Amino acid sequence: MPLRKILLLFISMCALAGFGCGSESRQQHAGTPEDPWVIGMSQCNLGEPWRVQMDADVRAAAADYDNLRVIFKDAQNSSLVQRAQVEEFVQQGVDLIIISPKEAAPLTRPVAEAYQGGIPVIVLDREVQGDQYTSFIGADNVRIGREAGRWIRETLGGRGRIVELKGLMTSTPGQDRNQGFLEGLELDRYPGLQVVFAGEMQWLEPNARREMESALATNSEIDVVYAHNDPGAHGAWLAARAAGRENDIMFVGIDALPHEGQQYVGQGILDATFLYPTGGEEAIELALRILRGEEVPEKIVLGTRIFTQQNVGAGGQPIN
Ligand code: FRU
């Protein structure tokens, strides 16, 4: 077999295996309008409005470039499906992968294999383990949790009974929003603050509603609910309203989509929500820099804002 053929065979075997050929980027397309770069975007689910917004942000940013095409896939909230999607993108020979992973551990290996096979990977919003990807983009969830904890501590004047409704705890934002929240409450300095109930609602409104029903049944006094996202905070409010207790309790969430969390604050349903930017536009800008061969940072941290009933009309308040 001539040397060139052997080489070609080796390269295609590497592409199929998806690893073992070093992490040098290998582009399949020219990045011209005739032969555009192809980006594979794996979204962990499209059942939640925030994720629909992320895909819309990616789509809008990509529409500014005629030398770019994005293939969208929805993993329907299954880490197994999402793993297969990453593997399909590798086999298809996309030029770059963007993934917003459902859970850290199960997606770590497929991401690492794509990256080691020479396909740049941008991890968006939720993290994977280790460092075998090109860049991570997302807001600092420990910091958002800490700000929520501080806001609740200050608003309660250092005394009160708290319910925490956690996101999926196998995903990094759930872990980080819990850790930061406990730091922000400073429970050792404020013994009058008590977390009387903590439940895992896995980011989903119906689960939050159910968890809150248990919290209400076992606690005659609740001052505030901190939910790791706005659907969770809204689910808790629905449960409290059904029990006739919604006016005795404050509700705090995270995400602050204009047509979701910000609207809830405007309607007096939530007392506060913290912006969790999707990073969709930033991911496309970064993808282009990678595809053009530029050096890029390993981590891009996005900022946040707080929306309360005082400032929601004015677009919230940045947190520095
Ligand atoms: C949507 C979502 C958001 C949350 C983010 C965390 O799936 O639950 O509400 O802020 O994921 O990754």
pLDDT at 19: 41
- Residue closest via CA to ligand 1's atom 4 equals 229
Q: Is the minimum distance from the CB of 51 to ligand 1 under 6 angstroms?
A: yes
pLDDT per residue over 166-198, tens digit each? 999 999 999 999 999 999 999 999 999 999 999
In the predicted model, what is the mean pLDDT of residues 135-164? Answer: 98
Atom of ligand 1 nearest to the CA of 229: 9
Distance 64 CA to ligand 1 centre (A): 26
pLDDT at 27: 83
Distance 229 CA to ligand 1 centre (A): 7
**Other CB atoms within 10 A of residue 174 CB:** 23
Minimal CA–CA distance to 42: which of 82, 2, 1?
82
Distance 50 CA to ligand 1 centre (A): 7
pLDDT at 320: 76
Q: Is the minimum distance from the CB of 50 to ligand 1 under 6 angstroms?
A: yes
pLDDT at 2: 54
pLDDT at 23: 47
207: its two tokens: 């689960």
What does pTM read for this prediction?
Answer: 0.91
Distance 276 CA to ligand 1 centre (A): 8
Amino acid identity of residue 5, one-letter, is K
Report the distance separating Cα 80 and Cα 102, nearest Å: 10
Report the distance separating Cα 211 and Cα 192, nearest Å: 24
**Other CB atoms within 10 A of residue 206 CB:** 11
pLDDT per residue over 262-271, tens digit each? 999 999 999 9
Q: In sequence order, which residues have a C-beta less than 8 Å from that of residue 242 and are 6 or more positions away? A: none
Atom of ligand 1 nearest to the CA of 231: 9
Atom of ligand 1 nearest to the CA of 126: 12
Q: Is the minimum distance from the CB of 203 to ligand 1 under 6 angstroms?
A: yes
Residue 64 burial by CB count (10 A; 0-12/13-18/19+): exposed, middle or buried?
exposed
Q: Is the minimum distance from the CB of 61 to ligand 1 under 6 angstroms?
A: no
Report the distance separating Cα 163 and Cα 196, nearest Å: 6
Distance 191 CA to ligand 1 centre (A): 31
pLDDT at 4: 52
pLDDT at 104: 97
Q: In sequence order, which residues have a C-beta less than 8 Å from that of residue 46 and are 6 or more positions away? A: 52, 55, 74, 76
Distance 174 CA to ligand 1 centre (A): 9
- The maximal CA–CA distance of the chain, rounded, in angstroms, is 80
pLDDT per residue over 200-237, tens digit each? 999 999 999 999 999 999 999 999 999 999 999 999 99
pLDDT per residue over 272-306, tens digit each? 999 999 999 999 999 999 999 999 999 999 999 99
Phi/psi class of residue 173: alpha, beta or left (left: φ > 0; alpha: ψ in -120 to 50)?
alpha
Q: Is the minimum distance from the CB of 173 to ligand 1 under 6 angstroms?
A: yes
- What's the Rg (C-alpha) of the chain? 22
CB neighbour burial string for 68-80, b if at least 16 within 10 angstroms, e if fewer: bebeebbbebebe
H or E stretch covering 99: strand 96-100
Mutational test site, ligand 1, from 141, 142, 262, 276, max ligand atoms within 8 Å of CB: 276
Beta bridge partners of residue 275, listed in sequence order? 255
pLDDT per residue over 15-36, tens digit each? 444 443 444 567 899 999 999 9
Report the distance separating Cα 12 and Cα 149, nearest Å: 52
The answer to whether residue 3 scores a pLDDT higher than 70 is no
Report the distance separating Cα 202 and Cα 170, nearest Å: 9
pLDDT per residue over 62-113, tens digit each? 999 999 999 999 999 999 999 999 999 999 999 999 999 999 999 999 999 9
pLDDT per residue over 32-61, tens digit each? 999 999 999 999 999 999 999 999 999 999
Q: List, in order of start, the domains of the chain with CATH numbers.
A: 3-133 (3.40.50.2300), 141-277+308-318 (3.40.50.2300)
